[in-house]
């Protein structure tokens, strides 16, 4: 399995309200990320839109149904359809979440948490290895946001994720909003989470908004907050230049508002890379 080269750029999630602009206008992004499952079809309008966008921009396939933590193993038909889409689109990479979503007979369509145990680690590593073999490429795993922990946990989430990366050779999609949300909900320091990850394996960073409260909820329905911008700066100081994108899945604003947020991401990255200095 070949190494996954770094791609330094700034992108947005491709969402339906912006399809026409991305297919007709010149949009100042370096790549777009799409939800893989929305395009795992043989034809039709969604796939035509994606192919039109792909003719203008690099594309990342980001899934929500791989279910690498499933004790029932992976859905081989799902993997075959994902591989076919990847062959058609030639994405920068394929990513999904460190979670489980399915049993042998049901897909919950929710990103369900794993117990961080040696047994769950063996299952996740086996599944990731199978996925990479069938997809014929390394994948990126995203750290999830979480709202509960299991009393059976034998290690911290970042230790578990680092073990999966080390054993399988996969890469990381570092979601700094999810780090912030989970740190708030569980009472650990976001910097401690970053300290425990193999950050040289990061190939993409996610930014998003969340709903604050006693329990913070990863809703992707508002702008990025100051704490997450600050965490981005901390992360980039450790990872070096990498691909950065903003997710918005609800209350989706006009495209210029997201592009304005992306300007701030570019500025923070330029400071982290030493291309700018503060006054």
Q: Tens of pLDDT along 116-147?
A: 999 999 999 999 999 999 999 999 999 999 99
Instruction: Give 177-226 pLDDT, tens digit per residue.
Output: 999 999 999 999 999 999 999 999 999 999 999 999 999 999 999 999 99
- Contact assessment for residue 217 and residue 244, using Cβ atoms and an 8 Å cutoff: no
At CA 192, angle to CA 234 and CA 116, rounded to 5?
Answer: 130
Residue 113 has pLDDT above 90, yes or no: no
pLDDT of 266 reads 97
Mean pLDDT check: name the lowest of 35-49, 124-138, 244-258.
35-49
Minimal CA–CA distance to 193: which of 228, 157, 244, 225? 157
CATH architecture of 10-272: Alpha-Beta Barrel (3.20)
C-alpha to C-alpha distance for 27 and 23, rounded to whole angstroms: 9
Residue 1 has pLDDT above 90, yes or no: no
- Residue 223: other Cβ atoms inside 10 A: 18
Per-residue pLDDT band for 109 (boundaries 50, 70, 90) equals low
Give me the chain's average pLDDT, please: 94
């Amino acid at each position: 399995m070949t190494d996954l080269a770094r791609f330094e750029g700034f992108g947005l999630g491709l969402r339906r309200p912006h399809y026409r602009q991305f297919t007709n206008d010149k949009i100042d992004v370096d790549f777009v990320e799409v939800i893989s499952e929305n395009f795992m079809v043989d034809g039709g309008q969604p796939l035509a839109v994606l192919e039109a966008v792909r003719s203008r921009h690099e594309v990342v396939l980001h899934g929500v149904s791989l279910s690498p933590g499933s004790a029932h193993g992976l859905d081989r038909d799902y993997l075959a359809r994902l591989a076919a889409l990847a062959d058609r689109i030639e994405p920068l990479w394929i990513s999904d979440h460190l979670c489980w979503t399915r049993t042998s007979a049901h897909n919950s369509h929710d990103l369900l948490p794993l117990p961080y145990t040696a047994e769950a680690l063996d299952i996740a590593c086996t599944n990731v290895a199978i996925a990479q073999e069938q997809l014929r490429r390394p994948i990126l795993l995203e750290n999830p946001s979480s709202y509960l922990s299991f009393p059976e946990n034998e290690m911290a989430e970042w230790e578990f994720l680092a073990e999966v990366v080390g054993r399988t050779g996969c890469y990381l999609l570092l979601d700094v909003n999810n780090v912030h949300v989970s740190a708030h909900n569980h009472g650990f320091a976001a910097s401690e989470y970053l300290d425990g990850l193999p950050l040289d394996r990061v190939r993409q960073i996610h930014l998003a908004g969340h709903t604050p409260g006693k329990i913070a909820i990863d809703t992707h329905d508002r702008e990025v907050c100051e704490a997450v911008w600050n965490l981005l700066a901390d992360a980039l100081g450790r990872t070096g230049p990498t691909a950065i994108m903003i997710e918005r899945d609800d209350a989706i604003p006009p495209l210029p508002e997201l592009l304005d947020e992306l300007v701030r991401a570019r500025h923070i990255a330029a400071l982290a890379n030493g291309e700018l200095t503060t006054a």
